[in-house]
Structures are given as structure tokens and as C-alpha cells.
Amino acid sequence: MTSMKNGPGKSVASAASLRHGIPVSKPVAVKLGTKPSSSGMNVGSGIGLAPGAGKTACIRTFGCQMNVHDSDRMLRMIRDAGYAEVQRYEEADVVVLNTCYVRENAVDRVRGHLGELSRLKKEGRVKKFALTGCVGEAEEASQLQNTYGIDLVLGTHNTYELAEFVGLPGMTETYTPDLPGIEGEHQAFVTIMTGCNYGCSYCIVPSVRGRMVCRPMESVISEVKRLVASGTRYVTLLGQTVDAWREREGKKRFCDLLERVAEEAPRVSFTTSHPSNMEDRTLELIGETETIVGRLHLPVQSGSDRMLRTMHRGYSSERYRRKIEVFREAVPGGMLSTDIIVGHPGETERDHEETLRLVEDCEFDLAYVFKFSPRSGTEAAGMYRDEAVPGDVAQRRFVEVLRAVEQNALRLNREKIGSVEQIYMRHGRTGDGSAIGETWSGHSVHVPTDAAPGDYVTARIDNAGPHVLYAGKPMSS
Ligand code: SAM
Ligand code: SF4
């Protein structure tokens, strides 16, 4: 067991840093390869015949942290091939769009980018571009390939094929989490499972990511050890239902894996959890363990039992509330976030009111609220024809849920004013002069400091908004 929490390392604070569920479009820096590759493919050290030497590349990522992490692995290949970093398509020889298929608006954005890339390719500026990720796995991928002249389409299972596309030797089939990512960064993701065995009515993920596959514990631990040895100070365990992780043969469950990782890494977090898999002992472990951040992202989707059944979520609102009670008790002042879908087909005003009541009872620090988006092939897309919630009603419910969450979050965040926090710096100073850090309770804080990402500072919380805390000048670092 790792050491128990004590001292300022685990005091309280508030608001969000999770990007889960929010479509992000994030250009990833690609530098000339300078680090040795554990894939043994490092031909891009700037000397010799690196296939990308003198060329440029840009990766853009849409979607959840799983996609951000998959981009990290592709970045490693591009870096190993010797490509130089660019942020703009106009300056790139090679572009990779790593995409999300969860909601239609994410796909619309991808189509916009594909249109731009197709034009740039015709003008001779971009030489070739690839579409990867969940859209690549969808049925409409081949139609998109024809329409936009995409050079390569990859799904989520054959990411290894990008190696050949960027000029590296072709690889044999490799489970995507086993592909090396970037090492030596202060924070890193570690995928512990892929796919999902649930069948939520609205969700396309099982179709594009497949059934659950759990990585062996030893493989996870050796990656964590390698990352920590390379300088990583913050490890986030990733999976669609991370707490469903279990040993393929054996009795170990997610809680056992988390405990082992927390012994190896100086700071640990995890996402996304499913309420049906979340064990009380995991929630207790968060509270007891010095190196685990006090944050829980536990998507509820609805507060109505009728809707939870329609969605096939597998738990009742009462069972969810009980989990939250255990978390609040085990991790006082911890950061609790959730996902909520409004306007699922068949959702009535009464169902919506039950969601509002659950939001009030659970006092979330943050919620990602989504308007239902019909995904072709899902059960809910079929229901949509007869039981769709009108757009204006869905919009009103969306605003009501968002407001209720923000009111709670602001009140909770204000309670943190005056507390002194040990803050892990996640990002350096931005334009407005503050850097962004995270308390041990998992809340985002703006801090006026020049401390480097990966450093800790101690500062007092002076102010609070619904999404973020504001610290004064650090007392120490
Ligand atoms: N595995 C996680 C879970 O079960 O909670 C969620 C993964 S999903 C990629 C992220 C979130 O997107 C979900 O929690 C849900 O709120 C939202 N989502 C998924 N499909 C959706 C749809 N068709 N329309 C609106 N939101 C959706
Ligand atoms: Fe989608 Fe449900 Fe699986 Fe989450 S648990 S990925 S919402 S099917």
C-alpha cells in the first residue's frame, strides 16, 4: 500500500481540467526526432537518410483523451521519421487528422477540415493527408475518402500502418496501446484497456472501438516505470470504461492495478469510469493514497431510472447516488465530474426534472452536458424517428442542466477560497500571465508563476469561478 495522505498535499479546491467528452482540435507539435525510439525505428535523428528529413508534418486531434493519446503514438512515428513541426496545414507536407465519431457535430468539423485539406492538396501545398481514429472505423469512411481524395484511412485498430505512410519500415500488426508514445514529458497517458462491452442505446463507441480488451498488468506497470524513468511525474490511466479493467486470467481488478501504479508513479489519475464497475474499495483507495489525485469522473447520463433503463446503463439513480456518497466520504473536497445527455429520444419533462434533482443531490463540480446526437446504427437513432425531443426543448433542458451544475460548482469553488494548496503545474504561463495547475483534489487553478510544467508550487486560493480557481502568488515552489 502506498503512503497515506497527509499534510498540505491533499487539501481541498475546485473546477475542471478534464477534456473528456469535449471535442478538441489540438495541433500537436512535431519536432525533429532527437530521442531514441523504443520501437527501434528512430531514423529521424537529423542525420542520415531520415524519410521525413527536410519535410514537415501536422497532426490535428478531435475528441477524447483516448484520441489525444493515439495522436501521441502517431506523433512518435512522425518524429522518428524525421519530420519537422508545423502548426498550420499550409506549411505541412503531411497531415494526419485523428478523428472522433461520438457526436455528429464532431464529424461535421472533420468534414470542414477535410474540405480544406483537399483544396490545399489540389493547390500542391499539402502533399498527402491521412484520416485516422473513430471516423476511419465508420462505414462512411470510404465515401469520405473518395469525396476528399484522402491518401490513407486508418481505424483505431491499425494505427501501426501509419509507420509506412511516413516512410518508416512497415510494422507487423500491433495492438495500438503497445505502440510507443512520446517519452520524457512531465505528464503522460497510459492506456489500460480498449473498446467497450456495454451497449448504451445512443453510443457508437462499441462499433468503432470494438469489444473490451484489457492490457496485462505487467505491460501497464512496465510502461509506467519506463515513463517515470524518462521524467514523467503524472500518469493518467485511460480507457472507455477504465474501472472495468480486470486480469484476463486471474482475480486482479482495476483497484489492484491502480494501487500498483500508485506505487510507481508520483501522481496518478484515471478516466473514464462506469458506475456499474466502480467498486467502493477503489473510491476508498483514492482517499487513502498519497499519489492518487482526488478526482472522479463518473458519467451518469440521466437522473431518471426510466431513461437509464432505456439507455441500458445498468444502474439506477439510487445506486449512482450511493457511489457518490462513498466518494464524498472517502475523498472530502474531491473533484466530482460527470457526463449528462439531454434530449435522448423519449425523454419527458419528468425525466428531465429527475436529472435536475440528481444534479442538485450530487453537487457535481463539473458536468459535460451533451444534447443527444443520433448516430446511425445505434438503437437510439431508430427511436429518434418516432420519439425525438424537439430541438428547442432539448436546448432549454441543456441550458437548465448546465446552469444547475454551474451554480453548484461556483458555490463549491467559493468554499475553497482561503485554502492553501500544493499545486502541480500542468501548463506554463499563457497570454494573460497565469500558468495552469491542478490541486491534489483535481481542481484546475490559475497561478501567477513562472514555475515549469511538472513543478509543484504552494499557493493560497484567492478567488473562484464556476470552472476554475485563482491562486495568489506562490509562497514556495
Ligand atoms: N464510456 C464512457 C461512459 O460510459 O460514460 C463515455 C464515453 S463517450 C465517448 C463520452 C460521452 O459522450 C458519454 O458519456 C456521453 O455523455 C456522450 N455521448 C455518447 N454518445 C452520444 C450521443 N449519441 N449523443 C450525445 N452524447 C453522446
Ligand atoms: Fe459508450 Fe456506454 Fe461504452 Fe461508455 S459504456 S463507451 S457510453 S457504450
353 vs 401: CA distance, rounded Å: 9
If DSSP codes are grouped into helix, strand and coil, which group holds residue 227? helix
Q: Is the pLDDT of residue 148 over 60?
A: yes
Distance 384 CA to ligand 2 centre (A): 19
Segment 165-201, tens digit of pLDDT: 999 998 899 999 999 888 889 999 999 999 999 999 9
Distance 342 CA to ligand 2 centre (A): 16
Question: Quick one: which H or E segment has residue 206?
Answer: helix 205-209
Categorize the per-residue pLDDT at 18 as very low, low, confident or very high, splitting at 50, 70 and 90.
very low
Question: What is the average pLDDT value for the chain, to the nearest integer?
Answer: 89
**Closest ligand 1 atom to 368 CA:** 16
Q: Looking at residue 50, what is its pLDDT?
A: 83
Segment 87-110, tens digit of pLDDT: 999 999 999 999 999 999 989 999
**Cα dihedral: 322, 328, 329, 331 (round 10):** 140
Q: Is the pLDDT of residue 39 over 80?
A: no
Q: Looking at residue 13, what is its pLDDT?
A: 27
- Is any ligand 2 atom within 6 A of the Cβ of residue 449? no
Q: Is the pLDDT of residue 119 over 50?
A: yes
Q: Looking at residue 182, what is its pLDDT?
A: 86
Q: Is the pLDDT of residue 314 over 70?
A: yes
If DSSP codes are grouped into helix, strand and coil, which group holds residue 125? coil
- Is any ligand 1 atom within 6 A of the Cβ of residue 176? no
Segment 350-401, tens digit of pLDDT: 999 999 999 999 999 999 999 999 999 999 999 988 999 999 999 999 999 9
- Is any ligand 2 atom within 6 A of the Cβ of residue 241? yes
- Is any ligand 1 atom within 6 A of the Cβ of residue 456? no
Q: Looking at residue 405, what is its pLDDT?
A: 97
Q: Is the pLDDT of residue 348 over 50?
A: yes
- Is any ligand 1 atom within 6 A of the Cβ of residue 373? yes
186 vs 265: CA distance, rounded Å: 11
Q: Helices marked H in 230-315 — which ranges?
A: 254-264, 280-288, 305-310
Q: Which residue's CA is the nearest one to ligand 1's atom 4?
A: 274
Q: Which residue's CA is the nearest one to ligand 2's atom 2?
A: 200
Compute the average pLDDT of residues 279-307: 98
Segment 401-453, tens digit of pLDDT: 999 999 999 999 999 999 999 999 999 987 767 899 999 999 999 999 999 99
Neighbours of 254 (CB within 10 A): 26
Distance 240 CA to ligand 2 centre (A): 7
Residues in the chain: 477
Q: Grid coordinates standing for 83?
A: 519530420
Q: Grid coordinates standing for 18?
A: 478534464
Distance 181 CA to ligand 1 centre (A): 26
